Structure 1
Amino acid sequence: MSDIVIRAFRAGDEQGVIGVILPIQREEFGVAITAADQPDLAAIADFYQTAKSGFWVAEKDGKIVGTISLKDIGNDEAALRKMFVAAEVRGKEFGVAARLLDALMAHAAAVGLKTILLGTTDKFLAAHRFYEKNGFSEIVADELPASFPRMAVDTKFYRRTV
């Protein structure tokens, strides 16, 4: 298929992760956000690699080209966050988004999570199609548990059972 490896985040990946996420947020979608606005990115291991949480990267030729994370929010529920794939490796040819989601779902099942929730902006139209194609159903914000880490930019919400 491709020489892209999906693996768990490890120390030293921070700049690569930020290098994928920020340009997509800022340049592609015009979201006025900085790394400082996302303190989780400065403490990925502490924020995403505890309890039933996790953080994975897609790596191509030693460079991080995709990210996905899962934040344990209690009650066997978790929030899917930080799903970003660099433009040069998007699409079915590479399958990066699907492989990242597969890694996350396998982890969720292995650790006994029951529900995955996510929030996204109305601008990420391709993401909406991807989530819907992969078993996520749109829900209204009122259906989110109080523990869900809602971001100010999020306007659409989805749920999938594990």
Structure 2
Amino acid sequence: MPFPTEAAAIWQARIADMIVHIQQEEYGIPITREQQPDLQDIAGFYQHGSGNFWLACVEERVVGTIALLDIGNRQVALRKMFVHHEYRGKTWGVSHQLLEQAIIWARQQGMTDIYLGTTPQFKAAHRFYEKNGFVEVDQQELPASFPVMQVDKKFYRFLVEENGRVNE
């Protein structure tokens, strides 16, 4: 579901709790909620232009997120792709559904490229992106408007019109 603007503070807290837990506890990335201003104003940060933010929920529990940030020139940056460890893999298909939704949205918005930056620790994520049509690129190949995060060391590009459906 797209990020709900009603009760935004409650949802933002749930989203931030899940994301920060994954970053800190699973991957040992020393980043805090406060160091991620986009988590303090999700709608204001992501939901403008061709950007958007989606949640995967089981009842009231956030189990996955994905966002597209409009960076201009018919390009978007994929951000905040996180799935709770209990909901990863083919059984639940959360990663697949989130990525599929983002790609459909990008096509509907007339986007040409989706870029993303990630950390070297996210090996399973690298395999997932590569299996789904993302191609690794050098940082120098990123558009000037791409927001490189401090932890980003590995970068990918997805050509929206050249790639078909997402694979789990």
TM beyond 0.5: yes
Counterpart in the other structure of 1:45 = 43
Name the SS of the counterpart of 2:29 in structure 1: coil
Unaligned runs of 5+ in 2: 161-168
Alignment of 1:99-118 (within 5 A): 99-118=97-116
TM-score normalised over the length of structure 1: 0.95
Tell me, what secondary structure is at the counterpart of 1:46? Answer: helix
Between the aligned partners of 1:73 and 1:54, the Cα distance in structure 2 is 12
Question: How far off its partner does 1:15 sit?
Answer: 1.0
* Shift, 1:35, TM fit: 0.5
How far the C-alpha of 1:63 sits from its partner, in A, is 0.8
CA distance in 1, matches of 2:47, 2:107: 16
1:21-36 equivalences in 2 (<5 Å): 21-36=19-34
Unaligned runs of 5+ in 1: 1-6
Alignment correspondent of 1:61: 59
Partner of residue 96, structure 2: 98
CA distance in 1 between counterparts of 2:142 and 2:87 reads 32
1:25-72 deviation per Cα after TM superposition (whole angstroms, max 9, x unaligned): 000000000010000100100010000000000000221100000000
SS at match of 1:8: coil
Could you tell me which of 145, 150, 153 is aligned with 1:152?
Answer: 150
Q: Which amino acid aligns with 1:100?
A: L
Partner Cα separation in structure 1 for residue 59 and residue 41 of structure 2: 25
Find the residue that maps to 2:147 and give its secondary structure.
coil
The equivalent position to 1:127 in structure 2, one of 104, 125, 150, is 125
Q: Percent identity?
A: 52
1:100 CA displacement: 0.2
Q: Which has the higher strand share?
A: 1
- Root mean square deviation, CA, Å: 0.6
2:3 to 3, 9, 24: 9
Give the secondary structure class of the aligned counterpart of 1:101: helix
TM-score (norm 2): 0.92
Question: 1-side partners of 2:74 and 2:91: how far apart?
Answer: 34
Q: Secondary structure at the match of 2:97?
A: helix
Q: Could you tell me which residue of structure 2 aligns to residue 3 of structure 1?
A: none
- The structural deviation recorded for 1:135 is 0.4
